[in-house]
Amino acid sequence: MLSMGASDFKADRIFGSGAPPVFYFWVDKDHPGLRGTLLTALRNEGHEVLDNHRHLLHRAVVQCPHDHGSVEAYPGQVHEQLVALFTEYADFAMRHDAVIRATTTAPESSPRPPSS
């Protein structure tokens, strides 16, 4: 239902001049009401969101400069950044736990009484 992750850790995105790897936060497409609620909450908290995308948001992951010292320091920098992002958005999800739980525990359909 909710997912966070990091993607596109390929050499051309880590060391290249193009788009960097990304951290993402998304809601499954089967829950458009929850998606809308969380988009509004993220926006109200000052986050830049993606309105017409499967992800709620993307955050660029730091790219690695091409010098030896930077290459050695890169894993630690990425680790620190990703832990901070996962923590920030896990905290966000916990603040909205009631609405998330209401969505995940809502009955899909009410059973019909037997016909007479």
Angle at which helix 97-105 crosses helix 32-44, to 10 degrees, equals 180
Look up residue 66 and give its two tokens.
């091409």
Domain boundaries, the chain: 2-105
Look at the block and give the residue holding tokens 């709620």.
56
Would you write out the chain's pLDDT as a tens digit for each of its 116 residues?
899 999 999 999 999 888 999 999 999 888 888 999 999 999 999 999 998 888 999 999 999 988 888 899 999 999 999 999 999 999 999 999 999 888 877 554 334 444 54
What stretch of H or E contains 59?
strand 55-60
pTM: 0.82
Q: Which pLDDT value is given to residue 66? A: 83
